[in-house]
Amino acid sequence: MVWMIAFGAIGGATAPSDFAIKQTGAILCPANTTPGTTTYTVMATGSDGITRPSRQYILQCKDANGTVVMENDTNFMFLWAGIVAVLGFVLPAPAVLIALLVIRMKKTK
């Protein structure tokens, strides 16, 4: 469970990366389009009530002419964080199974 939370946080922090954009764009963008991003500066109010400038990332799917066919503002970030969180669950699973087998083998001796 700790791994899923850690990987989820890592996923959220790495969502705007080129690698994450390519992976989520392959899922969300229509066929024959290329994923990319654009950013906007927006004002966001934090939990402390102070308004600060913040950067918003937008996934853009462009056709061969460079025309934006589709924009996606937050779904790609949630999708990426979810993919990484699932990896955080799946990757440690073999190690857990091996550890359980070793413990079981020691108990039977």
pLDDT digits (tens, 9 = 90+) for 3-62: 666 666 666 666 678 888 888 889 999 999 999 888 889 898 988 999 999 888 889 999
Amino acid of residue 33: T
Pairwise CA distance, residues 94 & 109, whole Å: 23
For the entire predicted model, the pTM comes to 0.65
87 to 11, 29, 33, 93, 105: CA distances (angstroms): 10, 22, 27, 10, 28
User: Residue 107 region, left (φ>0) first, then alpha (ψ -120 to 50), else beta?
Assistant: alpha
